[in-house]
Chain A
Amino acid sequence: MTEYGLRIGAAGVRAAGPITFGPAGILFLADNVSAKVFAVDVADPGQQAGSEPFDLADVDLRVGSFLGCEAGDVLIRDMAVHPVSHNVYLSVQRGQGDAGLPVLVRIDRLDGSVTDVPLDHVPFAEVAITDAPAPDDERLDITLPQGSEGEDLQVGERTIRILRQPIRTSTVTDMAYLDGTLVIAGLSNEEFSSKLRLIPFPFSDQVSSSSLEIFHVSHGKWETAAPIRTFVPYDGGRGILASYTCTPVVHFPVADLTPGVKIVGRTVAELGAVNQPLDMVSFDQDGAEYLLVANTAHGLVKIACSDIDGQPPLTEPREPVGVPRETKDLRGITRLANLGGSHVLALQSDDEGRKHLRSLKTASL
């Protein structure tokens, strides 16, 4: 893993956030407390998987039992499937506040057993994702730290340990790895913008991140920016479909991702009122590519990529809005990941709030 700049040590992850696989079984893990992305070699022990499905009931109970806590103390922040073994990785925050611990959980797809990737001794690299501070923005929240973090400050004859943390932060909402570049969508806690951040991988001290802003137009009348909640590359990495917090689904070509340039994406669909996109995947069915969008209010939404390519920008308000879509009677799904080519793995909550892993056969979607 030295070719990717990974070194063994304690990764110092403070919070579990979005995860996605990159090259050679390296998992990217966003930490929204320390404002970093970690690249971690998960050293997956599994063999090459076939096309078998994987289902696991009560995944939050199982993970809680392994972690020694109640299911309510298990916050599953994201899910990824190892591209070779199909073992399932969960980004889990165990507990909250000072007692909160980030854990990278691995679930063996052969027997459903639960282990974790020890983040205190692992090959890793890291990159800071803090927005470059404006020259006049030195605002820091100064607190008394837990443990050994922070710095010494001399106050009269006393030395106290303080932690300086930025007031302005950027929260990673989704990530994807695209041919040597980690693409990151985020949400600022101050300005309302629509930035995608591009970070070359392997991480380098010389090459910092760059960003670009992607606007969208609703009905040919109003141009606006908004944070991207979730996105997915498709068409062999040539296109990106992004879903915004204000629910338009917007297409833009990857070739347009030039740092510093303003892009106006093409709005192809909307998900409807009081609804939030949660996750997206693309999959093949009978030689054609489709997208699945998990959202808070409706069942899974299925969209044909050919319809996206042929969809003119939305110019008139009409219902249903945008490309033809099929809404599946699959509710409570919060995360999606490809399980090889034959299945999509879904993290699904039932009516009682219990969480299950469920394989959806792509041929039947």
Chain B
Amino acid sequence: MTDASWSRCDDAACVRLTGLPPDPEIQVRSGPAVVDGGLPPMAGRLVVDGGDVCFVPRFPFVGGTTYAVVVGGVTVAVLVHPRPDHPATTEVIEIRPTATEVPRNLLRIYIRFSAPMSEGYAAGQVRLIDDFGRELPGALLPAEHELWDGGRRRLTVLLDPARIKRGLAGHRQAGYPLRYGQPFRLVVDDGFLDAAGARLRARAERRYEVGADQRDRIEPGSWTLTAPACGTLDPLDVAFGRPLDHGLLARCLRVVGPDDRVVDGRPEIGPQERSWRLAPRAAWAPGIHRLVIDPVLEDLAGNSVSRVFDRDLSRAEDEPREAGPVTRSFRPR
């Protein structure tokens, strides 16, 4: 009598068949194909292993999926591939911005997880709600293409830019995603699966107050630089006057010394992304240093050093800045 069971063959999971008739026609059918004979069988190859025949699939069996083993048109076994048990260990470790108040035209939020994540859950598991738990409908850009870092641990979430930009149909018809003076929360539900397929340990959220629109360029000329003392390892402190984008801050600022070399040191983004400091590895040299700012640096509303997010063409003061880094000079005291 023919029997089929889970086994291993050629260092891969397989279905092992025993007691086969001569010249058997063997198929493994998965999921809906178990009952629908019109659907194609699973791709794979047959390997003779001793007196048994093994079906080695071209694509691995999936945990929790049902497979029918069909020999000569007759189903000889229905097997469910075991689902590995993954404990929930992954969690959200930060949601940025950390500013308590964001502009009404907030563009971007970063969510950082403690382990690599699965794609495909952002649309269903990340949402904005008000203080009464009501969802802000259509606030987030539908995430057909999720925006992850290379390690699949930081997710970038965009608010719908069509509703933020003035003049566009989305803005005129649906209005801003956020309302001035009405707090909201970004919620990451625990159904967001990590790369191993496990749920999060807990849901996470961050609450924000909503302030006025931010619709002007970042102006490094207005930043407050607190120069360190010469010959010390004291940090250079830079205060921006408004919160800036965390992701871009981490790569858009550097300090160049009098010798035109980048000052090696430990950069640190300050509370609420409103400041930045650099503690040098070697003591500050005398002479003029430059803080070099990449003009792609953006604030929370997508205004950069070079341009306003949506530029009012009638405002001459909003003319885009020339491409190229902007610098601020300072001299260690």
Which residues of A are in contact with B by a Cβ distance under 8 Å? 32-33, 35, 58, 61-62, 64-71, 73, 75, 93-101, 103, 113-114, 116, 134-137, 139-143, 163, 165-169, 171, 173, 187-193, 217-226, 245-248, 270-276, 278, 296, 317, 321
* Inter-subunit contact A190/B247 (CB<8 Å): yes
Q: Is B197 an interface residue (CB 8 A)?
A: yes
B312 and A222 contact, CB distance less than 8 A: yes
| Alpha-carbon separation in the docked complex, A101 to B62 (Å) | 11
Extra 20 A-B pairs, beta carbons < 8 Å, given A70-B65, A273-B173:
A33-B152, A65-B30, A68-B30, A68-B65, A97-B119, A99-B60, A166-B149, A167-B154, A169-B148, A169-B150, A171-B147, A187-B145, A190-B251, A222-B165, A224-B311, A246-B160, A247-B168, A248-B168, A272-B173, A273-B172
Interface of chain B, main secondary structure: loop
A168 to B151, CA, bound (A): 10
Instruction: Select B313's contact among A136, A165, A220, A270, beta carbons within 8 Å.
Output: A220
B39 proximity list for chain A (CB < 8 A): 58, 61-62, 65
Q: Could you tell me the distance between the alpha carbons of A62 and B148 in the complex, rounded to whole angstroms?
A: 30
Q: Point out the residue from A64, A68, A167, A247 that lies within 8 Å of B67, measured CB to CB.
A: A68
Q: With A221-B312, A222-B312 in contact, is A189–B32 under 8 Å at CB?
A: no
Q: Say yes or no: A165-B150 contact (C-beta < 8 A), given A69-B62, A246-B161, A273-B162.
A: yes
CB–CB B145/A32 < 8 A: yes
> In the complex the two chains form, what is the Cα distance from A232 to B45 in whole Å?
41
Q: Report B41 CB to chain A, min CB distance, Å.
A: 7
Partner of A272, one of B43, B152, B170: B170
How many A-B pairs with Cβ below 8 Å? 244
Binds A, one of B17-25, B188-196, B268-276: B188-196
State the CA gap A165–B144 with chains docked (Å). Answer: 22
Query: Which residues of chain B are within 8 angstroms of A245 by Cβ–Cβ distance?
Result: 141, 158, 161-162
For this complex, 14 residue pairs linking A to B, each with C-beta atoms less than 8 Å apart, are A73-B65, A99-B63, A114-B40, A134-B252, A135-B254, A135-B262, A137-B250, A163-B151, A189-B247, A190-B247, A218-B310, A222-B311, A275-B162, A276-B142
Q: Does B248 contact A (CB under 8 A)?
A: yes
Considering the chains assembled together, what is the distance between the CA atoms of A10 and B136 in angstroms?
46
Which residue in B59, B247, B304 is a CB contact (below 8 Å) of A94?
B59
CB-contact partner of B149 in A93, A136, A141, A226, under 8 A: A141
Please give the number of chain B residues whose Cβ is less than 8 angstroms from any Cβ of chain A in the complex.
85
**B120 contacts across to A, CB distance below 8 A:** 75, 96
Q: In the complex, A107 Cα to B254 Cα: how many Å?
A: 52
Q: Do the beta carbons of A190 and B43 come within 8 Å of each other?
A: no
Contact indicator B170/A246 (Cβ below 8 Å): yes
Q: Which of B71-79, B126-134, B233-241, B294-302 contacts A (4 or more CB under 8 A)?
A: B294-302
Q: Mark B281-325, 1 if CB is under 8 A from A, else 0.
A: 000000000000010101000101001011111100000000000
Cα A173 to Cα B153 with chains together (Å) = 20
Residues of A within 8 A of B309 (CB): 192, 224
A contact residues around B44 at 8 Å (CB): 68
Inter-subunit contact A218/B116 (CB<8 Å): no
Contacts of A169 in B (CB 8 A): 147-150
Q: Does B225 contact A (CB under 8 A)?
A: no
Knowing A65-B32, A96-B119, A246-B162, the reply to whether A167 touches B59 (Cβ < 8 A) is: no
- B248 lies within 8 A of A65 (CB): no
CB nearest to B301 among chain A residues: A192
Which residues from 48 to 64 on chain B have a C-beta closer than 8 Å to any C-beta of chain A? Answer: 57-63
User: A113's contact among B36, B40, B152, B248, by CB below 8 Å, is which?
Assistant: B40
Q: How far is the CB of A188 from chain B (nearest CB, A)?
A: 8
Q: For the complex, give the distance between the alpha carbons of A331 and B176 in Å.
A: 27
Max chain B CB contacts within 10 Å: which of A67, A75, A271?
A: A67
Pair A192/B298 contact, Cβ less than 8 Å: yes
CB pair A136 B254 closer than 8 Å: yes
B146 to chain A, nearest CB (A): 8
Q: Are A224 and B62 in contact (CB under 8 A)?
A: no
Tell me which residues across on chain A come within 8 A of B46, comparing CB atoms: none
Given contacts A171-B145, A217-B313, contact A271 B169 (CB under 8 A): yes
Q: How far is the CB of A108 from chain B (nearest CB, A)?
A: 11
B106 contacts chain A at the CB level, 8 A cutoff: no
Does A141 contact B250, Cβ atoms closer than 8 Å? no
Which chain B residues in 104-148 approach chain A with CB under 8 Å? 107-108, 116-120, 138, 141-142, 144-148
What is the bound-complex CA distance between A32 and B194, given in angstroms? Answer: 18
A248 partner residues in chain B, CB cutoff 8 A: 168
Which one, B118, B169, B310, contacts A223 given CB within 8 A? Answer: B310
Residues of B within 8 A of A271 (CB): 169
**B42 engages A68 (CB within 8 Å):** yes
**When chains A and B are docked, how far (Å) is the Cα of A137 from the Cα of B312?**
32
Nearest opposing residue in chain A for B250, CB measure: A139
With A65-B32, A141-B154, A192-B309 as given contacts, are A273 and B170 in contact (CB-CB < 8 Å)? yes
Is there an interface contact between A222 and B167, defined as CB atoms closer than 8 Å? yes
Q: Are A65 and B42 in contact (CB under 8 A)?
A: yes
B232 on the interface (CB 8 Å rule)? no
For the complex formed, measure the closest distance between the CB of A103 and the CB atoms of chain B, giving whole angstroms: 7
Contacts of A66 in B (CB 8 A): 40-43
Indicate if the CB atoms of A273 and B163 lie closer than 8 Å. yes
The A-contacting residues of B in range 64-110, CB under 8 angstroms, are 65, 67, 107-108
- Chain B residue contacts of A273, Cβ below 8 A: 138, 162-163, 169-174
How far apart are the CA atoms of A191 and B120 in the complex, in Å?
A: 22
CA distance A68 to B309 in the complex (A): 47
Confirm or deny: B156 has a beta carbon within 8 angstroms of a beta carbon on chain A. Answer: yes
